Amino acid sequence: MKPLKAVRAWRLRVEGEPQVQAGDGRTPDPGGDSAPDADDHVDFRQGVFRGQVVGKMIVNHNRRRPDRPAPCTLPMAQGGFTGRVGELAALAARLGPPVGPAPDAPLVCVVTGLGGMGKTALALKAAHRARNEGWFTGGALFLDLAGYDDNPVTPTQAVTSLLHALATGDLDLRSDLVGHYGEEGHQLDAYRSHLAALADAGRRVLLVLDNVSDSAQISPLLPASGLHCVLITSRECHESLTAVELPLGPLTPDDSVRLIAPALRRRAGGADEWTPEEAESVRELTRLCDRMPLALRIATSLLHRRYVRNPLASLVEELRAAVDRTRVLTSRGVDEYGRALALAPVFDMSFRRLPPDRTRALCRLAQVPFQDFSTETAVVATGRPRPLALDLLDDLVGAHLITGEGRGDELPERWRIHDLVRGYASALAADDPVLGEEGRRARREIRDHYRTKAAAADRQLRAPSDGPPPDLFKGRAEALSWFHAERVNLVAAVQWPDEQDPDCTVALALHLAEFLRRRRYFEDWVSVSRRAGERARRSADQHAEATVCNHLGNALLRAERSDEAIEPLVHAADLFRRLGDPAGEGMAWNNLGLAQRRCGLLHESVVTHRRARDRFRDIGERSHEGRAWHNLGLVLDALGRHGEAALVLQRACVLHRETHNRFLHGDSLNSLGCVLHAAGRTDAAVAALQESLRIRHDSDNWYANSLTWNNLARVLDSAGRAPEAAHARIRAAEAATRAGTTDTRYGHHH
């Protein structure tokens, strides 16, 4: 399509009454815009002029004129841009020249994410790369639509700005269509016509529209031609747009360190290496900044302003102590794009755009310091039915204030709140009495929910294999799966500072004990037991205190901190004795004997285990009596009295068989095999270990199974049965993998 000829008004002053036939005459323009070129002419045919006249100069736009550079209004790319390799590659694949015929509609890419995630920096980095590759010969235009400011850019203002930018290109635009808000329709027509003309000429244009809050801001700006591309940044998802969305999350831990490392090295005078303590502080700083680019840049700015002896450590400590870290992450000055180095205003605007019920729900969720949470927990926290809770969560995901993880038919739905968002929302609730009370109520309701579920799961783990399953779980496997998914949150719930309900804290800690012991989360077991013990002492509940102290000693024992275990176990035994609870006293003595043996106090351990055995025998607790016999056999073995140890362990096996305790029976058979091997009775040792494996064949105690397979391999080796020993080691490695360990261990299962 040929461009239309433009008509330009010009004036000519003549003397007298000339009569000019101007079919091929050429007359210069002494007072007009420009003199006619070779292909322009002034038409005077049949004209009679008696004074000043107005003529028409026909300007032929088909003539060849020097090419003007394509307009580019992209701001500079951000200095020190780090990471985002995958995201840049994804954008490059989208922005590159189309293969084959041009699509019918323009390509629209939307980079979404929480404010401060570096969306603008990524978009500009991709835009500059695309322009340097020569993919957009028609121009690259940038426009900040200020969608999250109090006065966002309107479509009319946006078109005006884009027309001004396009007027610097290789096609002339009428001046009366540029810069006049009253000519909205004409401006829009001129804008679209210009883009269409560039597309017809095969010249692609890239539009970068930054900070879009509403699709209505950009709908009039979208080109009609599929040759052009539009790159949008927004804090929200825009379902009404036909666009490719690229969600942007935090940087990786390594990229976070690379982002701030140059500034820290400049601060240190260019040193290339950090001490281990400094390296750990840098990692902690990136974690406290939630690995958010804006937060990291503010942190480096704050470090430059600090003149204390150790600015890095002091900033880390200040952030760690802050409830709302967005208030700490504020510095003077602006970034490359003129935006304030302050995080709180970014969050202020995001929260102001939420409907009030969404804000309340987010504050309730944020009051509970979860790493992540299930939909079931969200239902409890928000006090809404599941469909309404899911609708609320979807809205918060769309605003990038939370993220959805593992969503699908095969995995349970999990959700995560950004740490900085949680701190901001918690501070918001603390400043509002109504929100604060809602948050505290949500915390109590969630902990009650956890106590109920944990009690049901604990009953399932302890139930006999042929017993009826509790009503909340279909079986042991489902109970274990729930414990695994919620472990971090359950441990955190025990630590919550809610002084009004100490019983819940103690109960929750005790319901967790069997799972934590079985899955070898010993440090978690220590943590919840210490906290529950403190709460029990404050509430003057001596029985709860004795029970929790016994668990604490057991947990310390398992965590190989036997010297620390003795004190709480002695205290537990004394409390149980004073309370007249011989079963509790016997369990405390039993655990104390284990701690004494681990500390090398073997003779004291023999006395303690016999005391525990006698307590259980007196009250008819045959299952616990079997435990005491088992532990007595271990200390006799440690004393080198293998014959006595074998007889004691055989007695333990009889009691476990009679009480149908397959788990303890398997453990005692494993120890019996080790003792028989030490006594030189190889065939009997093999038989005992194989029987242990048979009994525990259907159990999921993979750590114990791995230990027994290793013991069997060692005994078979000593018997010269190498092929069988090799097979046993393979089975041991398989069980260890399922237990989540690579350790090769031999001996007793404690």
Tell how strand 330-334 and strand 414-417 pair up: unpaired
pLDDT at position 287 over 90: yes
Q: Same structural domain for residues 218 and 307?
A: no
Assign residue 132 the CATH number of its domain.
Answer: 3.40.50.300
User: Is the pLDDT assigned to residue 51 strictly greater than 60?
Assistant: no
Average pLDDT over residues 611-621: 93
Which among 375, 409, 408 has a CA at the least distance from the CA of 392? 375
The pLDDT tens digits for 422-468 are: 999 989 888 888 888 888 888 889 989 999 999 999 998 887 665 55
Per residue in 382-427, pLDDT tens?
989 999 999 999 999 989 999 887 655 545 578 999 899 999 998 9
Pick from 310, 345, 380: which residue ends a domain?
Answer: 345
CB neighbours (10 Å) of residue 155?
Answer: 16
466 belongs to a structural domain: no
Share of the chain above pLDDT 70, in %: 84
Q: Please tell me whether residues 128 and 234 are part of one structural domain.
A: yes
**pLDDT score of 545 more than 50:** yes
Is the pLDDT reported for residue 553 higher than 90?
Answer: yes
**Residue 605 in domain:** no
My answer on whether 229 and 91 are in the same domain is yes
Residue 175 confidence (pLDDT): 43
Residue 22 in domain? yes
Same domain, 97 and 218: yes
Sorting pLDDT into bands at 50, 70 and 90, what band is 14?
Answer: very low
Cα separation of the two ends of the chain: 87
Is pLDDT above 70 for 630? yes
Q: Are residues 93 and 235 in the same domain?
A: yes
The CA–CA distances, whole Å, from 435 to 193, 376, 662 equal 53, 22, 51
Identify whether residues 24 and 163 lie together within a single domain: no
pLDDT, tens digit, 9 for 90 and up, residues 358-390 = 999 999 888 777 878 999 999 999 989 999 999
Mean per-residue pLDDT for 589-594? 94
Q: Lowest mean pLDDT: which of 109-118, 479-488, 541-550, 697-706?
A: 697-706
- 414 strand-pairing partners: 374, 405
In a domain, 583, yes or no: no
The whole-angstrom separation of Cα 34 and Cα 455 is: 91
Q: For residue 597, tell me if it sits in a domain.
A: no
Do 320 and 359 fall into the same domain? no
Residue pointed to by tokens 């020190």: 80
523 located within any domain: no
The CA–CA distances, whole Å, from 397 to 238, 239, 347, 362 equal 12, 13, 15, 11
Grouping H, G, I as helix, E, B as strand and the rest as coil, residue 749 is coil
Q: Judge whether 603 lies within some domain.
A: no
Query: 718 burial class (0-12, 13-18, 19+ CB within 10 angstroms)?
Result: middle
Which range marks the domain in which residue 304 is found? 253-345
CA distance 136 to 391: 41
For 152-161, what is the mean pLDDT? 89
* CA nearest neighbour of 627 among 601, 644, 608, 643: 608
Q: Are residues 219 and 258 in the same domain?
A: no
Is 652's pLDDT higher than 90? yes
Whether residues 225 and 127 fall in one domain? yes
CA angle 432, 438, 440 (to 5 degrees): 100
Residue 666: name the closest of 640, 702, 719 by CA: 702
What pLDDT is recorded for position 743? 72
CATH label of the domain that carries residue 424: 1.10.10.10
What pLDDT score does 599 carry?
93
* Residue reference for tokens 């969305």: 245
Q: What is the pLDDT of residue 438?
A: 86
Q: Are residues 134 and 220 in the same domain?
A: yes
Residue 367 vs residue 731, higher pLDDT? 731
Report if pTM > 0.85: no
The domain boundary, picked from 345, 363, 380, lies at: 345
pLDDT band at 474 (very low <50, low <70, confident <90, very high): confident
Angle at the Cα of 326 from the Cα atoms of 496 and 367, rounded to 5 degrees: 25
H helix intervals, 96-214: 119-132, 155-166, 184-200
Per-residue confidence (pLDDT) for residue 101, from 0 to 100: 74
| Pairing of β 139-144 and β 373-374 | unpaired
Type of residue numbered 601: L
Q: How far is CA 443 from CA 278, 447, 641, in A?
A: 36, 6, 55
The Cα–Cα gap between 110 and 582 comes to 68
Helix (H, G, I), strand (E, B) or coil at 110: strand
Q: Are residues 265 and 239 located together in one domain of the fold?
A: no
Residue 203 CA to residue 157 CA, distance in Å, equals: 25
State the Cα–Cα distance between residues 580 and 565, nearest whole angstrom. Answer: 23
Each residue of 504-529: pLDDT tens digit? 889 999 999 999 998 889 999 999 99
Average pLDDT, the chain: 83
CA distance 127 to 121: 10
Count: domains in the chain: 4
pLDDT, residue 332, reads 86
The answer to whether position 152 is within a domain reads yes
Angle between the 184-200 and 155-166 helix axes, to the nearest 10 degrees?
50
Q: Is the pLDDT at 582 greater than 50, yes or no?
A: yes
pLDDT in tens, 159-196: 888 988 887 544 444 444 444 444 556 788 888 888 98
141 and 21 part of one domain: no
Looking at 284, 316, 345, the residue that finishes a domain is: 345
Q: Which two tokens stand for residue 483?
A: 């414990």
Residue 216, pLDDT score = 86
